[in-house]
Amino acid sequence: MNFYSLNKQAPQVSFKDAVIQGIAPDKGLYFPECISPLPPSFFEKIQELSNQEIAFNAIHQFVSDDIPNEKLRGILTNVLDFDFPVVEIEENVATLELFHGPTMAFKDVGARFMANCLGYFSGGEMKEVTVLVATSGDTGGAVANGFLGVKGVNVVILYPSGKVSDIQERQLTTLDQNITALEVDGTFDDCQKMVKTAFLDEELLHNMQLTSANSINVARWLPQLFYFLFAYKQAASFGKEIVFSVPSGNFGNICAGMVAQKLGMPVKHFIAATNSNDTVPEFMKTGKYLPKPSTATISNAMDVGDPSNFIRIRHLCNDDFENLKQKLFSFTFSDAETKEAMKSIYKNSNYIADPHGAVGYLGLKKYQEAHSDTYGIFLETAHPVKFLDVVEKTIKEKLPIPPQIQKVMKREKKSISIATYSNLKDFLLKN
């Protein structure tokens, strides 16, 4: 299968080249040339399949030209070595826990899948690659962990100073080896703009092979569809229509869910729940896409004012606004509402939600006001301990620190401060 640029001004490329390039020469996002539905029998018998078998069937058509079946199965075994439980917290409401991996965030799957792919490709004739990534929180730690020690790959992570949690910062600044953290005086949007500018810089591109590990990269983005299939496997027998509510920032996760829908997953609606960064909820009301500077919130991984993957979502719906409205609902919630949801979930269900999961819960409850006969699953995208201060202050309880987090708490932070794109370019050319 080939991949084409959504700007449609660049040649089609293989999966391998799409992964290595990250973004097309015309600066468009890559998209698969077709998405062939899986046979109905796959979904009818999905409860008989292991997670690895589900993932193999789902991703095979996109990668099989470049990754042999045996190698793909090995990659998936390496990537999917933890659980993805659906936990019911009240009647018709459950959460899909995506925080049981090494960095306790949903991005572990995509980051590890991409790292394994690049590791496999580097065994051929691929020249050294620099992975350049902006993070609003969890991406940095997941990418750092996934790529740590991968031969032929150097990783440079940009993160906004003072706008990620202490644990998130430690996960991306304490690993050394082939990982470098750049602490940016600005917002996530500033970090993302620097990364995008680097991919436009002919001098840089002449001197190095750059790729991105944000969800703009197809190898980071597509594996996220696994989560939704794993959840469907667990909830398919409940006898009600299933809907997913996804706390959304750069919109890669929910977009991958809509690809799973395109593969034939029997799910009708998705809810994109956002914090006060409401570009998409406003678009869904007005039909006008008006990106804006991001606003800092307690759900910092969603502090994105111009989500990169929303163009893929629109493309999935043929850029037809009415078609999109039939599949996607989107709601926005304040920090105050998020904290109240965290308190309510803990009081009524004895379940501790992180701020992002709480936003997903709010989106689901808002949707169910008009669609009561549904079974709703909201995504819990990170372990609450990663937002220790806000969670403990909100629910008035102390949280135990899991082993994955304990091991980074005593490590020394190492980062390089930058403020401008020129600083980033200088660093890249000298290293």
| Residues designated as active site | 107
| 187/164 Cα distance (integer angstroms) | 10
Spatial strand order of the sheet with 13-14 comes to 13-14, 2-5, 30-32
**β partners of residue 379:** 96
Is residue 395 within 8 Å of residue 342, measured between CB atoms? yes
**Residue 163: other Cβ atoms inside 10 A:** 20
- Name the DSSP letter for residue 217: S
The Cα–Cα gap between 291 and 278 comes to: 9
Q: CB neighbours of 265 closer than 8 A, spacing ≥ 6?
A: 43, 228, 229, 232
What CA–CA distances, in Å, run from 106 to 44, 112, 166?
Answer: 26, 11, 18
User: Are the C-beta atoms of 316 and 255 separated by less than 8 Å?
Assistant: yes
Calpha distance 362→338 (Å, rounded): 8
Q: Which helix (H) or strand (E) holds 275?
A: none
d(CA 39, CA 374): 25
Location of structure tokens 């690993």: 175
DSSP class of residue 382? B
Q: Which residues contact 321 (CB under 8 A, 6 or more apart)?
A: 287
- Amino acid in position 120: Y
SS3 417: strand
Tokens of 87: 């936990």
Chain CA centroid to CA 351, Å = 23
In the chain, helix, strand, coil percent, each to 5?
45, 15, 35
Phi, psi of 162 (to 5 degrees): 75, 5
